[in-house]
Amino acid sequence: MNIRNAEPIILKKGASSALLLFHGFSDEPETLRPLAEYLFRYLDMDIHIPLLAGHGSTMEEFRNVSFRSWVKQAQTAVEELTQQYGSVTVGGFSMGSLLALEAAADFPQIRQTLLLAPPLVFPPGRALLLAFLPLIKLFKKYKEKSLDEKGGNRHILDEEQRLHYRPRFQREPLSAIRQYDLLRRRAKRKLGQLNSPVLAIFSHRDRVAVIKNRIYLTKKIGKIPLVVLTVTESGHMLPVDRERFLLFRAVRDFMKGGEDERLS
């Protein structure tokens, strides 16, 4: 079991703008702490990372979570921050990027949107599992996570980081995976409703948000400004993997207002 703290992260300096970040599925805010602390150092901005419902606690809570709880939590956070700050940017990693997408579509006052490894479409094997998930759940309750012999997350290619960011649980409830998929389907339908500039970051070696997500996003996102960065030496866990500092700098530069085409 992971011994890291599972709690929201709030970094405040009394700024007039805020960044709201959402962590991924079966993950915790700590995965986004390095990015948050980097941005907090270089940008005049407060940063909020909530702990999503069903995460960071017991397997029972995780098993019974609903995607509607995540959506409601995200909506409430955006509503509160837009009342407190002059401008708000939303972002997320993996499943959290789907919540950021939802928020950006529903709240036109959002300034910018950050999508880190957005899993809009899955590889064939995972897509097949999701298609038959309602049936599979009748016979099986959990899916084993992709871990190495030391309990490290195989989706992190940096071996030191892999040991530091061990997942809290070694398996995931199929019921929660189903909720993740329902959120994914819902978010996909809102791609054309985005109004704020988007930075999307992908990796060629990501086995969850596979690279065809880059093509899908580019085709579906509409006419709003889109900057895409594609890295080559990281797995799915982009915020804590080998090219994390490249990611940090790209996010910083984008949020400063420079839609730098060199990122593409």
In order of 32, 104, 109, 162, 210, the CA distances from 237 in angstroms are 10, 23, 29, 9, 12
Q: What is the pLDDT of residue 261?
A: 38
Asked whether residue 4 is assigned to any structural domain, the reply reads no
Nearest by Cα to 105 from 90, 83, 121, 127: 90
Q: Is residue 2 part of a domain?
A: no
In a domain, 240, yes or no: yes
Quick check: is 223 in a domain? yes
Enter the tokens of residue 83: 């009342």
Determine, yes or no, domain membership for 153. Answer: yes
Comparing C-alpha atoms, which of 52, 53, 58 is closest to residue 23? 52
User: 158 pLDDT band (50/70/90 cuts)?
Assistant: very high
pLDDT band at residue 130 under the 50/70/90 scheme: confident
Indicate whether 3 belongs to any domain: no
Counting the structural domains of the chain, the total is: 1
Return the pLDDT at 4: 58
The reply to whether 1 falls in a domain is no
3-class SS letters over 172-224: EEHHHHHHHHHHHHHHHCCHHHCCCCEEEEEECCCCCCCCHHHHHHHHHCCCC
Sign of the four-CA dihedral 9, 106, 196, 199:
positive
pLDDT of residue 79: 97
Structural domain for 70, as ranges: 9-263
Task: Convert the pLDDT of each residue in 169-203 to its tens digit.
Answer: 889 999 999 999 999 999 999 999 999 999 999 99
**Domain harbouring 61, CATH code:** 3.40.50.1820
Q: Please provide the average confidence, as pLDDT, over all residues in the chain.
A: 92
Q: Which residues pair with 93 in a beta bridge?
A: 116
Angle in degrees, CA 98, 104, 107, rounded to 5:
135
pLDDT score of 246 more than 70: yes
- DSSP assignment letter at 50: P
How many angstroms from the chain centroid is the CA of residue 219? Answer: 20
> Phi, psi at residue 130, to the nearest 5°?
-65, -35
3-state SS assignment for residue 228: strand
pLDDT tens digits for 2-53?
445 689 999 999 999 999 999 999 999 999 999 999 999 999 999 999 999 9
pTM: 0.94
Give the single-character DSSP code of 23: -
Q: What angle do CA 175, 181, 183 make, to 5 degrees?
A: 110
